[in-house]
Amino acid sequence: MSRTLVLVRHGQSEWNLKNLFTGWRDVDLTEQGTAEAKAAGQRLKAKGLKFDIAFTSVLMRAEKTCAHILAELGQTGLKTVRDQALNERDYGDLSGLNKDDARAKWGEEQVHVWRRSYDVPPPGGESLKDTGARVWPYYIHTIQPHVLSGGTVLVAAHGNSLRALIMALDGLTGEEVVKMELATGVPVLYRLNADSTVASKELLEA
Ligand SMILES: O=C(O)[C@@H](CO)OP(=O)(O)O
């Protein structure tokens, strides 16, 4: 029984490079982001993984990351389910603003709270808790059954939608999740027990 779940944040996007709050804005990968996605695929290949199904958000940076990974594995055409439940946290009024400009305007601490706290939403946007309230049910009802039936499942999504998922999988508290960062293009490889708890977790870093 494989019961394998791989989570990967998309490769660097144009707005990661420009240091802009992105959220639901649909921006492309940079050249570096494309290379990161392909390298992630190579690392998964070196692990001998083959996926049974893939899930991604409806934002192109995650979709393209997913497609590059599958191409590296020789799995172009694998069933891939797109759903906005996996989209990045909605950054509301901060979307499109420069992160350093936001720090200059509202202060370092306030911006950190908006970016990393569990239950404080940015103005007009979603908190991590709000994001988890759509990501977790989608995981439980739609993704997890494929893992528990013995499959190997890829989820290509976003920094904060995956932080919400990892928080629940790892049993982190609202305080612990504040410190958690997820690098672009670094697959997180989980093996689950039959009762859906985590048997092991490994970061596939370069
Ligand atoms: O802008 C965003 O949507 C996210 C991810 O890039 O940024 P942050 O890391 O600040 O939550």
Question: Looking at residue 1, what is its pLDDT?
Answer: 77
Radius of gyration of the chain (CA): 16
ipTM reported for the complex, 2 dp = 0.96
pTM, whole model, 2 decimals? Answer: 0.98
How high is the mean pLDDT of the chain?
A: 98
Contacts of 3 (CB under 8 A, 6+ apart): 147, 148, 150, 151, 191, 192, 193, 194, 199
pLDDT in tens, 175-187: 999 999 999 999 9
Residues 8-35 pLDDT 10s: 999 999 999 999 999 999 999 999 999 9
Binding site for substrate: what residues are annotated?
9-16, 22-23, 61, 88-91, 99, 115-116, 159-160
Q: What is the mean pLDDT of residues 198-206?
A: 97
Between CA 29 and CA 69 the distance in angstroms is: 14
Question: What pLDDT band is residue 158 in, cutting at 50, 70 and 90?
Answer: very high
Q: 133-146, pLDDT tens digit by residue?
A: 999 999 999 999 99
Query: For 32, phi and psi rounded to 5 degrees?
Result: -65, -40
Active site members = 10, 88
Q: What's the pLDDT tens digit per position in 29-77?
A: 999 999 999 999 999 999 999 999 999 999 999 999 999 999 999 999 9
Nearest residue (CA) to ligand 1, atom 10: 115
* Assigned CATH for 7-203: 3.40.50.1240
